[in-house]
Amino acid sequence: MTTSAIKVEGIGKLYRLEHAATRSTTFRDALTRMASAPLRRFQRLSGSEATLEDFWALKDVSFDVKPGEVVGIIGRNGAGKSTLLKVLSRIVEPTCGQATMWGRVASLLEVGTGFHPELTGRENIYLNGSILGMRKREIDAQFDAIVDFSEIERFLDTPVKRYSSGMYVRLAFAVAAHLHPEILIVDEVLAVGDAEFQKKCLGKMKQVSAGGDRTVLFVSHNMAAVRGLCARGIWLKDGQVAMDGPAEGVVQSYLQATADAASTRVEFRRPSGSALWIKKAEIAFDGTSSVAAPMGSEIVLSVDFESEIPIKHPRLGFVVQTLEGEKLFQSNNRYQPSPQFELPVSTGTITCSLGAPPFMPGMYVVSLWLGDTAADHHVALEAMVFEITEKDLWGNGQIPPRVTPMWWPTTFSFSALDSNLLRTTSDTYKSS
Amino acid sequence: MISATPHDHEVRRLVIRPRSGWIAIDWRELWESRELLYFLVLRDVKVRYKQTVLGVAWAVLQPLFTMLIFTLIFGRFAKIPSDGVPYALFVFAGLLPWTFFSNNISQASMSLMNQQTLLTKIYLPRLFIPSSSIGSGLIDLLVSFGVFAMLMIYYRVGLGPGVLVVPFLVLMTAAASLGIGLWLAALIVTYRDFRYVVPFLVQSWMYLSPVIYPVSMVPAKWQPLLAINPMAGIIDGFRSALLGLPWNYTTIGISSVSSILLLAFGLGYFRKTERSFADVA
């Protein structure tokens, strides 16, 4: 019927990354920079110091979305997904290119934007609804449905600062779910809230998108959600469209590419402006470094770091997730007991023994955070990828189906009251 | 055959492209989202009075105490003249627009920094964020007018027809403070240390404005220069309107023009820098 709902033509977004020495967040810095500008220009001409680093968060992105299409945008962290949504939401201005949208646009990059903790649930419904672009009479008309969906009617007149985080998210999503724009732009807001409510939200989104005339752009790390909701997928890689087509195929290619890029030995460049950084990270299975290992392997993660200022208490955290983006577990010596260096050091290695995590066969992704006692200095999201292969762990030829990403080492014991059969069996299966 | 393109019906078309230079104000957008401004003002007002034990009493007590201290120190001890009216009334008539003006500047200038998610997580007419601060300031001003009325009754001073000019003077105060507030809000988002300048600026400004002293204390040839400060003419006008003192049309005229110029400057600067707010916030 109509030609397009969203037309994106050659959109680019340039960020100028300034090194710590030249970044000005205070006016004093700006003045100092202004004063030293001629000197820096000279230095740049003579090539002695590059102070600015151009970074294209988006580069020549073009696509066309038909009315009623539901498009999933996928890609690794830093691929430009959020920047694209911010450009299309008019939050940031593109550096070049043009995007045209036909219809009322609503964007949902965060749940509960503008919620005020002192105000009651009722007051926040009106405030948030109005921030999201709803008219008062629309909110009036939807009010009961919003309250119903959020399941918080008993606390409607309680300030939201007294809400549990679950209630807060439910109320915030309920308001957003009752927006009726022609074009809906959604960032990964479903990553919050309890599983049951997430399911309800996905259901609501499905209902919204099945309505036919609603165009939806949806960014997610959750491949299951993208497969379930979207007919079409756009894969962004380094700020550019790597693939655009039916969601299933795009998700497949994306997962394949991530798996192909599996690496358990990664060297890092010092992030600009960082005083403490990861030089190298490595995962070893049963003492040897490889990208794949059988189920039940002992895993050791080691991280070589360097610090500008010698440091006694480096803090390392990591999160392991599935390729589809489901987070499995975390560890961090910010909270867990850990040794310390006796004297401050400027280079060192942190070794983490994970034991033998009960992974099922599949691909797993590791993100790293390195910092000191005050803050994180180097964040390397989805930095490493490894594969776990099948193994007959218990020597009985049984390999459980992959219902969950992990199995669990369990001690089974049986007991019965029947006197003739009174017998207790116990056995432990461990993978060593 | 009919080919229905989206351009045919009432479908809104939104074009996003890089812009540069001075950007005009989108009055249509502001008008269409006027309800948002209403809810933002409502939020500020509710939050202001919700968590305080004394609630609205603060709006009464704050100017009352300031007036008492000023009367004691500047009226009694320093014996600053007050054009023949009781000093308490004189200083309160000046504090009415001054408190409104200075609170607006403090609130508006911090508004963007304190509500960064409204810049980085959503698009809305950002002019509303500092502007909504003026709304709650207006409520405080109304309460203060009530206190002033009691004071007039106490001193048995009647109101003249000059009171009809008050809405105009309030409008000029709002214009001047919004202009400065918009400018500072945009500066503070980019350069955080400007927030330390605000209290100092407001305090110095008070001494440059005839809050505790009458304009008549300033040599006549300097009065037009003083009136470049919009608060000079406005405070003087407030006293003429409420206390029946003689009108000084020159100062009010100059001050009104400079109020409007300040607003225009603030709006222009805000619009020019607005498009990079989300990048720097």
Task: For residue A343, give the CATH number of its domain.
Answer: 2.70.50.60
Q: Which of A53, A63, A60 has its CA nearest to residue A94?
A: A60
If one counts the domains in chain A, the total is 2
Range of the domain at A14: 6-104+181-259
User: What averages of pLDDT result for each successive group of 10 residues across chain B (281 residues)?
Assistant: 42 86 87 94 87 72 89 90 89 94 95 92 94 91 91 87 93 97 95 90 94 90 90 94 90 95 96 88 70
Chains A, B: CB contacts under 8 A, how many?
122
Beta carbons of B101 and B231 less than 8 angstroms apart: yes
Q: Do A243 and A299 fall into the same domain?
A: no
Chain A residues within 8 A of B120 when measuring between CB atoms: 91
Chain B residues within 8 A of A89 when measuring between CB atoms: 122-123
* Interface subset of B 154-193, CB within 8 angstroms of A: 187, 191-193
Q: Positive or negative CA dihedral for B69, B71, B72, B77?
A: positive
Half-sphere exposure (Cβ direction) of B210: Cα atoms closer than 13 Å: 30
Ordered by start, the domain boundaries in chain B are 53-269
pLDDT for res A416: 76
Q: Which of A369, A310, A368 has its CA nearest to residue A341?
A: A310
Mean pLDDT for the stretch of residues A43-66: 73
Beta carbons of B39 and B128 less than 8 angstroms apart: no
Tell me how far CA of residue A43 lies from CA of A10, A18, A33, A38, A52, in angstroms: 34, 15, 14, 9, 12
pLDDT for res A35: 63
pLDDT tens-digit series, residues A98-132: 999 998 888 888 888 889 999 999 999 999 999 99
For B43, which of A87, A91, A116 is closest by C-beta distance? A116
Q: Do A94 and A64 fall into the same domain?
A: yes
pLDDT for res A401: 82
Q: Is B6 in contact with A132 (Cβ distance < 8 A)?
A: no
Q: What is the DSSP string of A98-154?
A: EEEEES-EEEESSTTTT--TTSBHHHHHHHHHHHTT--HHHHHHHHHHHHHHHT-GG
Edge to edge, what strands does the sheet with A315-322 contain?
A: A292-294, A376-389, A362-371, A315-322, A327-332
pLDDT for res B271: 94
Q: Do A242 and A352 fall into the same domain?
A: no
For B6, which of A3, A24, A126 is closest by C-beta distance? A3
CA distance A61 to A13: 10
Q: Which of B92, B126, B120 has its CA nearest to residue B108?
A: B126
Mean pLDDT for the stretch of residues A155-179: 88
Q: Do A281 and A374 fall into the same domain?
A: yes
Beta carbons of A180 and A138 less than 8 angstroms apart: yes
pLDDT for res B10: 62
Q: Is A92 in contact with B119 (Cβ distance < 8 A)?
A: no
- Of A202-206, A379-383, B105-109, the one with minimum mean pLDDT is A202-206
- Of A185-199, A276-290, B183-197, the one with minimum mean pLDDT is A185-199
| In the predicted structure, residue A22 carries a pLDDT above the cut 50 | no
Tell me how far CA of residue A253 lies from CA of A223, A244, A249, A264, in angstroms: 12, 11, 6, 21
Beta carbons of A282 and A380 less than 8 angstroms apart: no
Q: Do A207 and A338 fall into the same domain?
A: no
Chain position carrying tokens 């890029």: A261
Chain position carrying tokens 């400060």: B229
Q: Do A270 and A384 fall into the same domain?
A: yes
- In chain B, the residue whose alpha carbon lies closest to the alpha carbon of A127 is B39
Q: Do A229 and A348 fall into the same domain?
A: no
* Widest pairwise Cα distance in chain A: 96
A349 forms bridges with which residues in the sheet? Answer: A304
The structure's pTM equals 0.78
CA distance A373 to A333: 10
pLDDT for res B4: 39
Q: Is B6 in contact with A99 (Cβ distance < 8 A)?
A: no
- Helices marked H in A178-273: 195-210, 223-229, 247-260
* Interface subset of A 143-172, CB within 8 angstroms of B: 159
Q: How far off is chain B from A110, nearest CA to CA, in Å?
A: 6
- Of A92-101, A201-210, A354-363, A423-432, the one with minimum mean pLDDT is A423-432
Question: Which comes out higher in pLDDT, residue A358 or B23?
Answer: A358
pLDDT for res A240: 94
Instruction: Tell me, yes or no, whether A424 lies in a domain.
Output: no
Amino acid at B25: I
Confidence band, pLDDT 50/70/90 cuts, at residue A47 = very low
B-interface mutation test, from A11, A92, A107, A118, most B Cβ less than 10 A away: A92
pLDDT for res B3: 37
- Of A20-29, A355-364, B12-21, the one with minimum mean pLDDT is A20-29
Q: Do A255 and A294 fall into the same domain?
A: no
Chain B residues within 8 A of A5 when measuring between CB atoms: 6
Q: Do A199 and A70 fall into the same domain?
A: yes
pLDDT for res B173: 97
Instruction: Tell me, yes or no, whether A45 lies in a domain.
Output: yes
For B14, which of A100, A131, A159 is closest by C-beta distance? A100
Q: How far off is chain A from B268, nearest CA to CA, in Å?
A: 18
- In chain A, the residue whose alpha carbon lies closest to the alpha carbon of B190 is A25
Per-residue b or e along A213-246, where b marks 16 or more CB atoms closer than 10 Å to that residue's CB: ebbbbbbbbbbebbbebbebbbbbeebbbbbbee
pLDDT for res A42: 52
Size (chain B), residues = 281
Beta carbons of B198 and B177 less than 8 angstroms apart: no
Confidence band, pLDDT 50/70/90 cuts, at residue A431 = very low
Residue A203 sits in a domain of what CATH number?
3.40.50.300
Q: Do A274 and A371 fall into the same domain?
A: yes
Tell me, yes or no, if A180 comes closer than 8 A to chain B by beta carbon.
no
Q: Do A89 and A200 fall into the same domain?
A: yes
CA distance A191 to A425: 43
Mean pLDDT for the stretch of residues A393-411: 87
Q: Which of A141, A117, A118, B30 has its CA nearest to residue A129?
A: A141
Chain A residues within 8 A of B12 when measuring between CB atoms: 102-104
Beta carbons of A134 and A128 less than 8 angstroms apart: no
pLDDT for res A19: 52
Q: Do A219 and A309 fall into the same domain?
A: no
